[in-house]
Amino acid sequence: MNDLIQTVAVYALPVLFAITLHEAAHAFAAKYFGDTTAYMMGRMSLNPLKHIDPFGTIVIPVLLYFATSGAFLFGYAKPVPLDFGKLRKPKRDMAWVALAGPAANFLMALIWTLMIYALAIGGVEEEFFMLMAKAGVLTNLVMFAFNLFPIPPLDGGRILTSLLPNKYAYKFAQIEPYGFFIVMALVLLKVIYTWWMAPVMYLAGSLLQLITSPLSLLFN
């Protein structure tokens, strides 16, 4: 129980920010490209309560934490309502709307990385804040990589659908009703983490290091 409380305390804020900005970014991009559905329903908001799904964001992760002793965690936010038919160029703009969420997570990973440097430069000795900043980087890299997996309804699946020729895009999009079950099976078999998430997170982490490399010189 103490481990759970400590984990929740460290990850609560990073997870809330990661979920909230991810979903709000989808809503913002959709509005920018012509679909105001999410905006009209109040989902282009930085209020976490607008995006949290009580069952998917709270109940499932907690149950899985206890059931697997923290070895496996999974959860989801309330999907942003989108009407791709209202986009100015639906097939093209679908990719940009889908990409907005992972892009927001990468940006947040960068901000948390800068926070780590700021804490170090400022000589902050409180371990909790450093753990939270590292949790922020990890949480957002996980969301970035997972959501880019190319199976609908994940963002990567929508991006791939947008890029495929119309004939193949239509057939590929028909996977969506079964996409959640396919993804869950691949998660349980550790296929997604081993063959997708780990490499994508490594590349994203390397890019973060490259971007922040001038700051790392301060510690050499």
Angstrom distance (rounded) from CA 163 to CA 155:
13
Spatial contact of 104 and 138, defined as CB atoms under 8 Å apart: no
Angstrom distance (rounded) from CA 203 to CA 155:
18
3-state secondary structure at position 46: coil
Question: Of residues 23, 125, 126, 127, which has the active-site annotation?
Answer: 23
Spatial contact of 76 and 51, defined as CB atoms under 8 Å apart: no
The single residue listed with the structure tokens 């481990």 is 3
Residue 43 tokens read as: 């989902």
Residue 12 tokens read as: 């609560």
Q: Is 126 among the catalytic positions?
A: no
Alpha helix (H) residue ranges in 71-197: 90-121, 127-147, 155-163, 166-173, 176-188, 191-192
The answer for residues whose C-beta is within 8 angstroms of residue 120's C-beta and 6 or more apart is 219
Angstrom distance (rounded) from CA 190 to CA 72:
10
**Residues labelled catalytic:** 23
